[in-house]
Chains A and B, each alone.
Chain A
């Protein structure tokens, strides 16, 4: 009877050690590491609000072909060449996250026109490849950069008021 108890006790002890050893042995080969995961959510650049002032050419007198060269540089001022003029450039308010870089892209251009005819655009305006614009400060106002469109006006252009529109789109880059 005493031997039986001793055998049972031995069996239990051995079993426990084997089981514990199995657990420890299994754990000892596993390894794990942690990694961080991150993302940044920015606002959606769904549209641009055309802010004032819009592109305007209130007065212009051209005396030779190519006199007027309208540019809309990054500083929002217009450079001209030849003739006399009074030109202001538009600026745009971006809707979306202002910290994100965007590419300003001329998506469409409608020549300035009026009842007296069309103030012709010399060539298709750039549609891609403009320099990325980084919004600064409050970022709400961004201005196209560098040159957006060029309009050449010849001497035969009929004087009078002209009006038109053009649109600008922005995409993340």
Chain B
């Protein structure tokens, strides 16, 4: 009977120690609060509003060029342009959020051509305004693109056409 009392005491003491330990562990906990934020922006988008037009010109040798600047000015080396023919830089509308900036990716040299089905021009040296990085104003900006066509000898007369892509991405 005395043994039972000892066992009971032992169990009681052990329980108290365990409880004390648990309580003492809890007494060291600390809590802090942090804000979590996020900003949802309008997805950036781009649409073409004006084609890149080199206009009419004649050519008689390899390496003659006609260039349309991003501002839409036409110049030529060797090739004889018809001044009355329409020449325009390509134009794009870029839309997005607020005043965010974005990166502009133009076609690399050697990737764009225009053709009449028989002969082909290389279109290289793409330029843009703005160049490299654009900055939206009130969520929009106009992006213009120019390039240079280079002749490959005497080409058959007629209309030549092709297409190219311009990409934009938020910085």
Q: Closest Cβ of chain A: how far from B147's Cβ, in Å?
A: 7
Q: Say whether B112 faces chain A, with CB atoms less than 8 Å apart.
A: yes
Contact A44 B80 (CB under 8 A): yes
Q: What's the Cα separation between A35 and B44 when bound, in Å?
A: 18
Contact A41 B157 (CB under 8 A): yes
The 8 A CB mask of B59-73 against A (1 = contact, 0 = none) is 110000010000000
The 8 A CB mask of B123-152 against A (1 = contact, 0 = none) is 100000000000000000000010101000
B residues less than 8 Å from A35 (CB atoms): 48, 50-52, 90, 92, 145, 163-166
The 8 A CB mask of B30-71 against A (1 = contact, 0 = none) is 000000000000011111101111111111100000100000
For B, the interface residue count at a CB cutoff of 8 angstroms equals 51
Q: What's the Cα separation between A34 and B92 when bound, in Å?
A: 9
A residues less than 8 Å from B156 (CB atoms): 41
Q: Say whether A36 faces chain B, with CB atoms less than 8 Å apart.
A: yes
Contact A40 B147 (CB under 8 A): no
Q: Which residue of A lies closest to B41 (CB)?
A: A29
Contact of A37 among B58, B123, B155, B170 (CB under 8 A): B123
Interface of B is mostly: strand
Q: What's the Cα separation between A19 and B110 when bound, in Å?
A: 33
B residues less than 8 Å from A29 (CB atoms): 43-44, 169-170
Q: Say whether A45 faces chain B, with CB atoms less than 8 Å apart.
A: yes
Q: What's the Cα separation between A34 and B52 when bound, in Å?
A: 11
21 contacting pairs across A/B (C-beta < 8 A): A30-B44, A30-B167, A31-B45, A31-B167, A35-B50, A36-B52, A37-B52, A38-B51, A39-B55, A39-B57, A40-B54, A40-B158, A42-B57, A42-B157, A43-B157, A44-B59, A45-B58, A96-B58, A101-B82, A172-B82, A173-B82
Q: Closest Cβ of chain A: how far from B58's Cβ, in Å?
A: 4
For A, the interface residue count at a CB cutoff of 8 angstroms equals 24
Contact B57 A101 (CB under 8 A): no
Tell me whether A31 and B46 are in contact in the complex, defined as CB-CB below 8 angstroms, given that A39-B121, A45-B80 are known contacts: yes
